[in-house]
A and B are shown apart, each in its own frame.
Chain A
Amino acid sequence: MATYIAKRVGQSVLTLFLTITTVFVLLRLAPGDPAAAYAGPNPTTEDLERIRAQFGLDDSILVQYGTFLKGLVTGDLGTSFSFQAPALDVVLERLPYTITLAVSAIVVTALVAIPLGVWMARRADTAKEFGANLLTITGQSMPDFWSGIMLLTVFAVVVPVFPASGFTSWGGLVLPTLTIAILQIALISRMVRREMSTNMAAPYLTVARSRGVGERALTWRYAMTNSAIPVLTALGTRFAAMLNGVVVVEVVFAWPGVGSLVVRALETRDYPLIQATVLVTAALTVLVQLLIDLAYPLLDPRVRLAKTAKQKTAPAVAAPEGALA
């Protein structure tokens, strides 16, 4: 177990390093000049050169990369061009807002999608289930900027029950959460339904029924426990993706998280800020992924016991590898 964790942590660090290096290089190869973005209208060549020297952009990429790595070890990710403050601090200041939104969205998603998916699996092929199915397909195909603007129009403008933008009170959390959750509930509930249907048709369930186990226990104790791994993996992966900043939703609701920050950083070619954002969110994503991987052995005895007991029967369910997408 200890070696497994050490190996996974090593992998994670390597992933982070490769990600940040790729971003570092690509940013500098991409067209666009940060100096031009800061110089104001009609800059002179001297202006631009002064700014480049100030930002350290007149060095070769290799030298810049060396400086960046040196800073990295000491936790210094450079100074944001546009904020004129340590890039890391700017990101960390925004991070709690994104985390709050992500946690809120994933909790709402889980609370609605799991019972809904189970319900759909149990009512398969009834008229009500058909209706629910139709709703989830609609939810799945609705772009988030559209559902966000609809919610905003209805609940913040026409009937102003929730604030339209920003995070001034907890009420401000409602609309962005719903916007994200609509799509996620649609996706996750359909997956829960699929997993539950499979498990409810599995031989072990019929055998359990044959020994008098009640329908409620069959559903929750047997089928749900057996569906837990793929469902939790999906929820974890979605959560990790949300930590990267829910860009569209953050922009629509003027949410002060890293999603809207990264849009601004990209617009202004604020290299240090982009790098800091990527590094922080990638680290969080990798961390969540690591936690999911560590949860497999807890949920599945076939994974937990695979190392200790030498079995000729391979585990029927292999732990999915790095479902980072």
Chain B
Amino acid sequence: MVFPIPHDSTPILEVTDLQVELVTADRVVRAVDGVSFRISRGETVTIIGESGSGKSTTAMGVLQLLPHDLAVLSGSVKVGGVDLLVDTDAARRIRGRMVSLIPQDPMTALSPVHSVGKQLTGAVRLAGHPRGKARARAVELLEAVRIPRPEEQLDKYPHQLSGGMLQRVLIAIALAGHPVLLVADEPTSALDVTVQAGILDLLLELQERTGIGILMITHDLGVARLVSDRIHVMKDGRFVESGDAEQVVEHPREEYTQRLLAAVPQLGTFDEDTPVEVPA
């Protein structure tokens, strides 16, 4: 971790023995098979694994956003001490207020027929700001995610903005309700490599400023190495290796982790303008 943030000992998120079974017409897939992890204030915990290993299902399970007719969850997911699997209404209350999602593909994550401003002020109003002050707060949020000329951007529609800009808008939207935890499901994998570092940089800066916890999902060990305090390596729904970021990246125990390490390009720096290093 690059920023020296004192850790509060009570976890924001505590996941214990989470299992997710996906029930489809012809079969049942145990996409998540008994994973446990915790995230405290100011921490970034990363789940890394290859495609199909169950990362998104874990993230969506934490947010209780898996379709009810598809997913059966067991174990426990405690946010601020409340078990979302027991109190089934709790997830609805905390989404956007305590926990927010940063989606994988910003291009499809906003309603195409509503303006950026409408969707952002909507989130601001859900967070309890009165209508009259919503626009000012929206501008503030866009400034916080370093979007140039925020007033202008509010009137734009999603198709008028680049992927990187949209991801910043989505981060602003996620922050509208002052959450304590961000769930970021591959927040940079749909973006041009040149803007990936800028988004990660922004997330870390926001974390430094607010002490927000981050659950980072990625298949990219380069990303994991840069942002994580702890890393869990996921394969076939289980964590095959867990530990401090440094340790997992520098001294991977599992062959699977070593393969991931070898397979991915590594981000060189956080500077948005600097081209990304190509893997050796």
Chain A residues with a Cβ under 8 A of chain B: 125, 202-213, 222, 225-226, 228, 299-302, 305, 309, 311, 313, 315-317
Contacts and interface: CB of A to CB of B under 8 A. Distances in A.
Contacts of A210: 63, 65, 95-96, 100-101, 103
B111 A212 contact: no
A172 B99 CA distance: 58
A309 B109 contact: no
Given A211-B95, A301-B159, A125 B69 contact: yes
B170 A207 contact: yes
Given A209-B95, A210-B65, A210-B100, A204 B109 contact: yes
Nearest to B92: A212
Interface residues of B, number: 33
A202 B158 CA distance: 15
Contacts of A213: 96, 122, 126
Given A207-B101, A207-B170, A209-B95, A311 B159 contact: yes
A209 B67 CA distance: 12
Contacts of A202: 108
Contacts of B105: 203
Contacts of B177: 211-212
Contact of A211 (B107, B115, B160, B174): B174
A194 B159 CA distance: 24
B97 interface: yes
Given A212-B126, A309-B160, A315-B159, A207 B103 contact: yes
Interface string B174-201: 1011000000000000000000000000
B239 to A, nearest CB: 24
Lowest 4 CB-CB distances: which A-B pairs, in order? Answer: A212-B96, A210-B101, A211-B96, A301-B157
A62 B112 CA distance: 54
B160 A305 contact: yes
Nearest to B122: A213
B65 A226 contact: no
A225 B95 contact: no
A309 B155 CA distance: 13
Contacts of A125: 69
A204 B122 CA distance: 14
Interface of B: 60, 63, 65, 69, 92, 95-97, 100-101, 103, 105, 107-115, 119, 122-123, 126, 157, 159-160, 170, 173-174, 176-177
B101 A226 contact: no
Nearest to B163: A313
Given A203-B105, A209-B65, A226 B111 contact: yes
Nearest to A206: B65
Contact of A204 (B95, B108, B174): B108
Given A207-B101, A213-B122, A300-B112, 11 more contacts: A204-B109, A207-B170, A208-B119, A210-B95, A210-B96, A211-B100, A211-B101, A212-B97, A225-B111, A226-B113, A305-B159
A311 B160 contact: yes
A240 to B, nearest CB: 24
A309 B105 CA distance: 23
A211 B176 contact: yes
5 contacts: A203-B103, A207-B110, A210-B65, A212-B95, A313-B107
Nearest to B114: A225
Contacts of B110: 204, 207
B112 A301 contact: yes
Contacts of A311: 159-160
Contact of B157 (A204, A205, A208, A305): A305
